[in-house]
Amino acid sequence: MDADVIVVGAGVAGLVAADRLVSAGQRVLVLEARDRVGGRTLTMPVPGFDGVVVDQGGQWVGAGQELVYAELSRFGLVTFPQSTGGGSALVVFRGKARRYTGRVPKLDPITLLDIGQAQARFDRLAATVDLAQPWRTPRAEWLDGQTFETWLRKTCWTARGRDFFRTATEAVFATLPANLSLLHALFYAASGTSLETLISTDGGAQQDRVLGGMGRLAERLAASLSGRIELNQPVRSIDQHDDGVTVTTETRSFNAGRVIVAVPPALAGRVVYTPALPAERDQLTQRTPHGGIIKCHAVYAEPFWRADGLSAEAASDTGPVKVAFDASPPDGGPGIILAFLDGPESLRLGALPEAERREAVLRSLTRFVGPRAMEPVAYLERDWNAEEWTRGCYGAHLPPGAWTQVGAALRAPVGRLHFAGTETAERWCGYIDGAISSGVRAATEVLTAAP
């Protein structure tokens, strides 16, 4: 045996699972396809600015994500508020830009009333979701038998109200409401407290950033697992037999007693299993598509928008950039704007030559902070749709029928195989907090499983 337990995937979920198993005295080996750890978290230096970094993957930690705060503080990593620079946020709706402070964007009263009534109905339904077993939610088949878009068309009184939720859905799920089952939208929101929490900065999921970057968390976890992680080892097949499991990568084979597969379900479905996994599990992995994200950072000599009373936090109902934030370092230095290309826009722009995409992104940012947006001193982007070992972000979403028909296979172990990853989390599904809890849960499953 090469290890008691092999963990496939060195994202936060896999690293946390390995960490907890090692603490419990298990011999662990982590196999990672990439040449780095961290998966969907990745901190990169900004060229030309010593010590300045940007997070090209997951970056925020927010209200209710106690597991992330605890894990960060264990490694001495500190956070600072997203809203450091002050200034007004901006909403560009129907071509009209409006500044606002606080939580509620400045829209006309009828639209705000409509958003309020639809959100209240959504919250009432979300409160009924069984987070551990969404398919057991009251009226689960009815909720799962329609898309979020269908529900919005029935529920919102105004086109503007619908467009608000469409923009919010793209920002949160990186896909259109037409692609989500209503049950999934409700589950995901309840899993992260509420839709409002998911779209909010102060008191919400975008509350704090990590000094030095969120990528440090995976680096610290990996350092404490030193010698137990093999990089550049894409797992191609997993064979279960009477006395253990053989995991085969492109170049080597490894044996262990049990395996934790800590990769998103769609990618887990590309591994060849012997014997074949139960049909329900295979069908699940066929029905967990990813959203689409290109995360872009435009770097300027200074955060010039602050002199205009702007925070660089902006949302728009038209793209290509629909959501932007200030990503400048907290202690002076360059000004950095983070711009998301999400959903179908990310696929469309991802197919363009880099220079054209950059031009489109910067032009889009001029709507938020003016013409100086066109003259960055540096520009970085990461197309997560094109990344071989992610293939779209922020994570998986479930289309109609998937939760109620095959959802039970999401985290059910199969023989000596266990499943982790943020997609399997009950709380903060899709977020780093969910990745942590899933790693802890899978490690506990292994430790309590019959030998």
57 binds ligand FAD (CB under 6 A): yes
421 binds ligand FAD (CB under 6 A): yes
114 binds ligand FAD (CB under 6 A): no
Which of 21, 349, 393, 406 is the binder for ligand FAD (CB under 6 A)? 393
**What is the separation of C-alpha 119 from the centre of its chain, rounded to a whole number of angstroms?**
22
238 binds ligand FAD (CB under 6 A): no
Phi, psi of 6 (to 5 degrees): -105, 135
- Give the nearest distance from C-beta 395 to ligand FAD in angstroms: 5
39 binds ligand FAD (CB under 6 A): yes
Residues whose CB falls within 8 Å of the CB of residue 426, separated by 6 or more in sequence, listed in order: 131, 132, 191, 434, 437
Take residue 259 and report the two structure tokens written for it. 């395996």
Which of 26, 43, 59, 207 is the binder for ligand FAD (CB under 6 A)? 59
10 binds ligand FAD (CB under 6 A): yes
- Give the nearest distance from C-beta 59 to ligand FAD in angstroms: 4
Which of 329, 376, 395, 400 is the binder for ligand FAD (CB under 6 A)? 395
Looking at the Cβ atoms of 59 and 147, the one nearer to ligand FAD is 59
- Is 388:54 a contact under the CB 8 Å cutoff? no
> What b/e string do you get for 256-290 counting C-beta neighbours within 10 Å, with b at 16 or more?
bbbbbbbbbbbbbbebebeeebeeebeebbebbbb
CA 9 to CA 195: how far, in whole Å? 29
- Give the nearest distance from C-beta 371 to ligand FAD in angstroms: 27
Looking at the Cβ atoms of 287 and 290, the one nearer to ligand FAD is 290
CA 6 to CA 189: how far, in whole Å? 32
The response to whether 235 counts as a known ligand-binding position is yes
- Give the nearest distance from C-beta 420 to ligand FAD in angstroms: 7
Total residues at interface with ligand FAD (CB under 6 A): 39
245 binds ligand FAD (CB under 6 A): no
43 binds ligand FAD (CB under 6 A): no
361 binds ligand FAD (CB under 6 A): no
What CA dihedral angle connects 81, 86, 87 and 88, to 10 degrees? Answer: 40
The response to whether 33 counts as a known ligand-binding position is yes
Show the beta-strand stretches assigned E in 59-140.
79-81, 88-93, 96-100
Which of 17, 435, 443, 446 is the binder for ligand FAD (CB under 6 A)? 435
Take residue 84 and report the two structure tokens written for it. 């450091």
Q: Name the nearest CA neighbour of 303 among 321, 285, 322, 327.
A: 327
- Is 192:428 a contact under the CB 8 Å cutoff? yes
Looking at the Cβ atoms of 292 and 400, the one nearer to ligand FAD is 292
Residues whose CB falls within 8 Å of the CB of residue 375, separated by 6 or more in sequence, listed in order: 300
The response to whether 340 counts as a known ligand-binding position is yes
431 binds ligand FAD (CB under 6 A): yes
Alpha carbon of 6 to those of 9, 27, 31: distances in Å?
A: 10, 9, 7
- Give the nearest distance from C-beta 294 to ligand FAD in angstroms: 8
300 binds ligand FAD (CB under 6 A): no
- Give the nearest distance from C-beta 18 to ligand FAD in angstroms: 11
- Is 324:314 a contact under the CB 8 Å cutoff? yes
Which of 145, 212, 234, 350 is the binder for ligand FAD (CB under 6 A)? 234
- Give the nearest distance from C-beta 389 to ligand FAD in angstroms: 3
Residues that bind ligand FAD (CB under 6 A): 8-14, 31-34, 39-41, 57-60, 234-235, 262-264, 267, 271, 293, 295, 384, 389-390, 393-395, 421-422, 430-432, 435
